[in-house]
Amino acid sequence: MVSALVEPTFSHWGSSEPFGLKQMASSSHSTYVASISKDAESPGPEGDDPVRRCDEYMAALDDARVLPAKDLFSSFVAWSNRTFLGIVSFGGGPSYTKGCVLWKYFGFHQILLLNSLFSVAPPLYVAGCSYFTAVILPVLAFAPMTLTTPIVEAKIFRSKFLVLHIERGGKLIEQIRKGGTPSQIVMFMTTSLVFSTIVLSVSIFWALGYTMSQGIDFLRIVILLNIVVTLVAQFINYGFQFWQPLVEIHQNEITDACKLAANTVVQLLYDENLTARATRAKLSDLTRRLIKPLQRELKLWADEVFFMLLFVVVQIAAGIWLVSMELESRRTDIVWPGVLFRYTLAVTSSLLMPLMVVGILRTAAKPFLAWSIVEDSLFSDAERSAAACEKFNGSPVLMNAWLRKNRLTLKLAGFPIDDTLPEKIVGCFVSILGAAALVISRNAGTFND
């Protein structure tokens, strides 16, 4: 797990105050859990001019350069990521494709998939599963993540918003430049130790011994080959882990920019010194230079949320399958370690993974909360609503149409991700697990007289 205290500011563009978000974030793969501080609810410090800050921010966004990866990472990390992951630079915008060699980045994720398959399939077979089940379970469990998220993440590396935050610097960026944050180093050592322990203890001391005693040469070769695959994956993973704070930084920057855009809209709609025509001209410029780019970034963020959610759904299904499957009786002489292994995987998949969804969705709801200040401000005061309508020639229909078209929020299956969605998703998962537990219990004869 990576943990970092991030306090993004826009001091570089005319304000020495924090922009309103203090986030304690933690990640698993590409998952980040964050909370919005109380001061995030206010539009900004008294006397602050969001319109001026927004103009300066949009100018900086227009001029954002392509940042070579070697300007951010240490020399070894930059070399490792360029050689094995194809990460060359950051920024450039949606049409810039030279920053990341996609086949390298995608290929490393498939090495992780292969590593997971080789680590889990042999012990599952020894635990009593058929060859088909032992192979298909880890593939279904990990493939939704390794086959989809690399494409989204490669596009995130092109983000100009990411470059803006890196250029501003800060404690986290300086730690990355010096070789990584303490939490990154601890995470790398922990994951390496845990994964190596699992490979050694489960695969070598249990599964390998069984395959050698039974003369199953194919599985024995797979287990020994996985030791090499694990070492290669862990070596590349040292540089790979440095992208995780960048995804977190990207999400923080997008959320801050959404709030800046929302504050600017409110300021423009209520500015009595601006005519309706001048206001509409400024709103159109805001849409073109900031809101539309933000909507593209939010679409990428939403895609990653969807794929991670799909990953969790498959994990839950795999956990249920692990508990309810029928075992091959010829391997019942080692049933107790097999039961322990299966139930450990099932609990991890069915219970811990849904908890991860809460963090994913709560973080994804922050742009919705940032943009909601516009609607709250407009529709909670009749006088202000009427004043805002005057900017659209007195037509509430035109005003609502513009607000709906320019809304900044992540969407899941076409529905905005708000602060109530995490609890709804978790409730759905709990219902599914409860129903599955009831069916499994009845099939096992628990309720028979």
Percentage above 70 pLDDT, the chain: 77
Average pLDDT score, the chain: 77
pLDDT tens across 187-239, in order?
667 766 766 666 667 777 777 777 777 778 888 888 888 888 888 888 888 78
Confidence of residue 278 (pLDDT cuts 50, 70, 90): very high
Rounded to an integer, what is the distance from CA 91 to the centroid of its chain?
19
Neighbours of 407 (CB within 10 A): 19
**Higher-scoring residue by pLDDT: 430, 366:** 366
Structure tokens at 278: 């001048």
**Higher-scoring residue by pLDDT: 33, 197:** 197
For the chain, the maximum distance between any two Cα atoms, rounded to a whole number of angstroms, is: 86
pLDDT tens across 279-301, in order?
999 999 999 999 999 999 999 99
Confidence of residue 24 (pLDDT cuts 50, 70, 90): very low
**Higher-scoring residue by pLDDT: 39, 124:** 124
Structure tokens at 351: 């219970």
What DSSP character marks residue 325? P
pLDDT tens across 318-358, in order?
777 777 777 766 655 555 676 777 777 777 777 776 777 77
d(CA 144, CA 141): 7
What count of Cα atoms within 13 Å lies in the side-chain half-sphere of residue 143? Answer: 8
Q: Which residue from 339, 315, 333, 330 is spatially nearest to 131, judged by alpha carbons?
A: 330
Span 36-61, average pLDDT = 64
d(CA 206, CA 200): 9
Q: What is residue 448's predicted lDDT score, i.e. its pLDDT?
A: 58
